[in-house]
Amino acid sequence: MLLFIVALPFLIILSFKQKYKVSLPARFFLINNPPFKKKGIWFHACSLGEVNSLKTVFKELKDENINLSVITGTGFKSAKEVAALHVRFLPFELFLPFWIKKQKTLVVTEAELWPLLFIVSKLKGTKTVLINARVSDNSYKSYQKMAWFYRWIFASIDEVFAQSEVDKKRLEELGAKSVVVNGNIKTFSKPIVTKEYKKPKKKVIVMASSHEGEEQMLLENLNLKKDEMLIVVPRHPERFESVDRLLKEFSSDRNLNYAKIDDNLRTDIVLCDKMGELVNLFAIADVVLLCGSFKDGIGGHNPLEPAFFGCKIVSGKYTFNQKALFSLVENIKVCSADELKNIDFEDIKPSKVLHAGDINILLNRIR
């Protein structure tokens, strides 16, 4: 309560920013964010990636009443595109005891271990399930220091579906019970192409989900050949303008053609300044530079999506948040940014998804 009062002025100020003007009022002031009206299966996912990974599960549960809570605005927007869903923002924990209503099952994805979310749901008679659970190397160290806290949370979780045997062992050490290894839910279905781009004659290299500093780092070490083109897809839309300036300068210095993305991919370098296009670009990509991994502190991004399309994948060394997913993909080339200049893409084999989880096991337990 004290923390909420102290943070109140900052929350009000942030609520006026475009990025937070819907999510913060909903989460911290319950504006246009009532409890779910109907009892059903309640899913909770943090952001866009988790929501998208659940869409195959939602499709299979079309005969059930599905409620979904999210944290981010992008996750909310994606969820609202699924007509059958009842979508809410998850309120700040202070409000959960009176906001939560009894549901058939609560299904929480990955590391969304909000204590009152599970404890209050369990007290109200809801079955609780944690799916796609993982514990990264970095998280494991901090989890161990707070082991008593996580044992307290796991006491209110009935079943856990872990991504790997390593995750299962770590989760059980932290107090999780009824742990089953069932892979990653992102392997349940191939990503859906929503827009078909005509494949350029040139070899298409996609710099995927790049973070601040990575574009510059990779551009300096990427020897773009005459028969190659580069499409840069920044991770965060608020960085589109700064990346645009960087690419204009880089292209000008090297006498390369540059443009923002349109239906005809004709230039040497292209900036994708639109959300939701990455899968569509993977469908025509020859090589994917999988970012979030070339500088420390981010932990990498999901390699499954480009692997479903058989792209040649080059990743940096910092993939500690994605170890479970990387273990599911064959032929990923790992290097540092400065080693990129010595790599011949012709020598890299196309990536391949090794095996997928079983959606039916998960569906049966949720039901």
> What pLDDT digit, counting tens, does each position of 185-205 carry?
888 877 889 999 999 999 999
CA distances from 169 to 143, 180, 323, 324 (A): 13, 10, 15, 13
Q: What one-character DSSP code corresponds to residue 297?
A: T
Question: How confident is the prediction for the chain on average, in pLDDT?
Answer: 91
Specify the pairing of strand 287-290 against strand 203-210: parallel
How far apart CA 335 and CA 311 sit, in angstroms, is 17
**Cβ atoms 88, 36 nearer than 8 A:** yes
pLDDT at 264: 85
Q: Which CATH architecture has domain 203-353?
A: 3-Layer(aba) Sandwich (3.40)
Write out residues in the chain with pLDDT < 70, as ranges. 1-11, 14, 83, 355-356
pLDDT at 28: 87
How far apart CA 180 and CA 159 sit, in angstroms, is 8
What CATH class is the domain 14-181?
alpha beta
Domain boundaries, the chain: 14-181, 203-353
How far apart CA 216 and CA 243 sit, in angstroms, is 9
pLDDT at 301: 93
Q: Which residues contact 2 (CB under 8 A, 6 or more apart)?
A: none
pLDDT at 108: 96
Q: Exposure of 47 by Cβ count < 10 A (0-12 exposed, 13-18 middle, 19+ buried)?
A: middle
Instruction: Kindly report the number of other CB atoms within 10 A of residue 223's CB atom.
Output: 10
Please indicate, yes or no, whether the overall pTM of this predicted structure exceeds 0.75: no
How far apart CA 122 and CA 155 sit, in angstroms, is 10
How far apart CA 135 and CA 154 sit, in angstroms, is 14
Q: What are the tens digits of pLDDT across the range 9-36?
A: 666 776 777 777 888 888 988 999 999 9
Instruction: Kindly report the number of other CB atoms within 10 A of residue 297's CB atom.
Output: 9
pLDDT at 10: 65
How far apart CA 121 and CA 113 sit, in angstroms, is 13
Q: Which long-range contacts (CB under 8 A, 24 or more apart) does 180-184 make?
A: 180/361, 180/365, 182/357, 182/358, 182/361, 182/362, 183/328, 183/355, 183/356, 183/357, 183/358, 184/132, 184/304, 184/324, 184/325, 184/328, 184/357
Q: Taking Cα atoms as reference points, which of 237, 226, 230, 105 lies closest to residue 161? A: 105
Query: Which H/E stretch holds residue 146?
Result: none
pLDDT at 138: 79
For 347, half-sphere exposure in the C-beta direction (CA atoms, 13 angstrom radius) is: 5
CA angle 364, 366, 367 (to 5 degrees): 65
pLDDT at 328: 86
